[in-house]
């Protein structure tokens, strides 16, 4: 058994000894995390406004469910799923660790409620039900589709091991890859993406509340996903709109949900400030001629800035058929 030895300090320096002991104990418990990684992207242009170790590998935790929902939205669009369809709950799905909706084996849940359960409660049981439904009874088959879709979206540093984000071994992602997924959800499914603004919903007579505290406190924020495991720390993918401009942000590895939320708000504020300065520069420049071929081409290529836009969508990406939460207190924290 390893023995924890503290550095020698004078007797009167007991507060320092206590602080060192606490940090070492937390490190051994796996709850002290490296410096967070982040990226902020302009949703209209795709330009990176800021980044910090954005390609550093990191556990995705429940941000994994964003891909589960991407494939669910794809199935809804293609007619392979219906929002009102009742999906069976297996013993495997019911046995998922919290956070969850508390589904029991033999019950059913609608696609609509499963999606809202993933968005708000980060429900691991709901994610597994969706995976088994689309994987024809096999979560592993569904995970193959998740990883195939990740490659199609350019998420070359991401590997999923399950549909929920629970620790499974070698799951990994990066802040940049998760920003690609967040943007793809709004680009490819603009009508469905509005569901990410849901902060609570009523499920079987009880009110299910969400973990995304910034939704109520950051002006213009209207969606996406939280995540937490001991290994990952506190993760967050966010999107917000101000003055018609949409930004996407990802922060991975916060030590607390408050620190993570503060970091996200700070980065988005800087991003919007940069956009405002950029707009002021363009407004002060001479106006180009507003006709001619060049103007018509620029109009045709004008990017979509909000999730409500339904036109000028690129063809949705397809995946070939594969072969074959957030707690208010840091401790104890459920895995989600």
- Give catalytic residues, as residue numbers: 62, 65, 122
Q: Which residues contact 285 (CB under 8 A, 6 or more apart)?
A: none
Angle between helices 64-78 and 139-152 (to 10 degrees): 90
Residue 121 and residue 100: Cα distance in Å, rounded?
7
Position of tokens 């397809």? 318
Dump strand ranges (E) for the chain: 37-42, 48-52, 86-88, 108-110, 200-203, 206-209, 221-229, 233-242, 245-254
What DSSP character marks residue 315? P
Nearest to 49 by CA among 136, 207, 176, 150: 176
């Amino acid at each position: 058994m390893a023995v924890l030895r503290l550095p020698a300090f004078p007797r009167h320096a007991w507060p320092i000894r206590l602080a060192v002991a606490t940090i070492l104990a937390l490190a051994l418990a796996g709850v002290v995390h490296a410096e967070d990684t982040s990226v902020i992207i302009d949703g209209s242009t795709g330009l990176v406004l800021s980044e910090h170790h954005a390609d550093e590998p990191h556990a995705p935790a429940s941000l994994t469910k964003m891909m589960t929902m991407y494939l669910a939205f794809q199935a809804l669009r293609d007619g392979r799923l219906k929002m009102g369809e009742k999906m069976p709950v297996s013993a495997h799905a019911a046995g998922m660790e919290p956070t969850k909706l508390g589904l029991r084996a033999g019950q059913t849940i609608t696609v609509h409620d499963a999606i809202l359960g993933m968005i708000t409660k980060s429900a691991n049981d709901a994610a597994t039900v969706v995976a088994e439904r689309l994987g024809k009874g096999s979560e592993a088959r569904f995970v193959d589709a998740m990883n195939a879709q990740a490659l199609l979206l350019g998420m070359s540093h991401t590997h999923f091991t399950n549909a929920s984000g629970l620790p499974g071994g070698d799951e990994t992602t990066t802040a940049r890859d998760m920003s690609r997924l967040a943007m793809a959800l709004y680009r490819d499914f603009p009508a469905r993406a509005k569901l990410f603004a849901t902060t609570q919903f009523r499920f079987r007579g009880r009110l299910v509340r969400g973990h995304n505290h910034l939704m109520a406190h950051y002006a213009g924020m209207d969606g996406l996903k939280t995540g937490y495991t001991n290994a990952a720390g506190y993760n967050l993918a966010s999107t917000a709109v101000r003055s018609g401009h949409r930004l996407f942000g990802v922060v991975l590895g916060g030590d607390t949900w408050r620190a993570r939320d503060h970091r996200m708000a700070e980065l988005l504020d800087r991003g919007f400030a940069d956009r405002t300065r950029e707009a002021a520069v363009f407004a002060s420049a001479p106006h180009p001629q507003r006709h001619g071929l060049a103007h018509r081409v620029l109009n045709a290529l004008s990017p979509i800035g909000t999730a409500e836009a339904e036109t000028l969508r690129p063809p949705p990406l397809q995946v070939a058929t594969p072969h074959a939460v957030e707690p208010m207190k840091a401790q104890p924290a459920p895995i989600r």
